[in-house]
Amino acid sequence: MYLQVMQLTRFTDLGLRVVMRLAVAAEGDRPGSRQVAEELAVSYTHATKVITRLAELGIVDARRGRGGGLAITELGRTASVGWLARRLEGDGEVVECDGAQPCPLRSGCRLRSALRRAQEAFFASLDTVTIDDLTQSPTRAVLLGLPRPADTDFQFSSAIGE
Ligand code: SF4
């Protein structure tokens, strides 16, 4: 049995970071994905993957070209962290029962169902928190104080990719 500690994947954490950053952007300020990646100290490749997923979910409005860039949507501001985390995490369980070496207990395992309930409780605890909640003090000041990249020309480059 391979048991993962119940934690968010890096993909989900990065997605939440991007959304928090966009939530404090001033009206009309639409940073590009490269700028956001630099500010959050993550790879551009990872950032574009998660931004693409956030756009598919309707959390981020991503536009290409001059005057384009990224902005959080109304859904993004009001979405619960649990709702978003579930969608970024996918359907994976905290324990791998059916992997390369399937567990012989999997046809009727009470531990598996208990872990499923624990996983749901983990997400449910995040259902009461919205993205807006996450960007209140002191996080807001930290987000607004992130060092801006020196070269802001890419602010107007494509929103999702090159
Ligand atoms: S079936 Fe049960 S014992 Fe086997 S890996 Fe899954 S949770 Fe663990």
Please provide residue 10's backbone torsions phi and psi, each rounded to the nearest 5 degrees: -65, -35
Instruction: Please report the pLDDT score of residue 155 as a whole number.
Output: 44
Instruction: Please report the pLDDT score of residue 153 as a whole number.
Output: 42
Which value, in Å, is the radius of gyration of the alpha carbons in the chain? 18
Q: 67: left (phi > 0), else alpha (psi -120 to 50), else beta?
A: left
Instruction: Please report the pLDDT score of residue 113 as a whole number.
Output: 93
115 closest CA partner among 137, 95, 143: 95
Burial of 107 (0-12, 13-18, 19+ CB in 10 A): exposed
pLDDT along the chain (162 residues), means of 10: 66 96 94 95 95 97 90 96 94 86 94 93 94 95 89 46 46
CA atoms within 13 A on the CB side of 82: 11
Distance, CA of 114 to CA of 123 (rounded, Å): 15
Instruction: Please report the pLDDT score of residue 3 as a whole number.
Output: 53
Cβ of residue 97 lying under 6 Å from some atom of ligand 1: yes
Q: Residue 61 forms beta bridges with which residues?
A: 71
E strand intervals along 5-107? 60-63, 69-72, 95-96
Cβ of residue 103 lying under 6 Å from some atom of ligand 1: yes
Instruction: Please report the pLDDT score of residue 148 as a whole number.
Output: 85
* Ligand 1 atom at minimal distance to the Cα of residue 104: 4
13 closest CA partner among 116, 94, 84, 95: 84
Domains of the chain: 7-156 (1.10.10.10)
* Ligand 1 atom at minimal distance to the Cα of residue 103: 4
Instruction: Please report the pLDDT score of residue 90 as a whole number.
Output: 85
Instruction: Please report the pLDDT score of residue 93 as a whole number.
Output: 83
Cβ of residue 94 lying under 6 Å from some atom of ligand 1: no
Question: Rounded to the nearest whole angstrom, what is the distance from the C-alpha of residue 124 to the centroid of ligand 1?
Answer: 23
Instruction: Please report the pLDDT score of residue 146 as a whole number.
Output: 93
Could you tell me the pTM of the whole model? 0.83
Cβ of residue 109 lying under 6 Å from some atom of ligand 1: yes
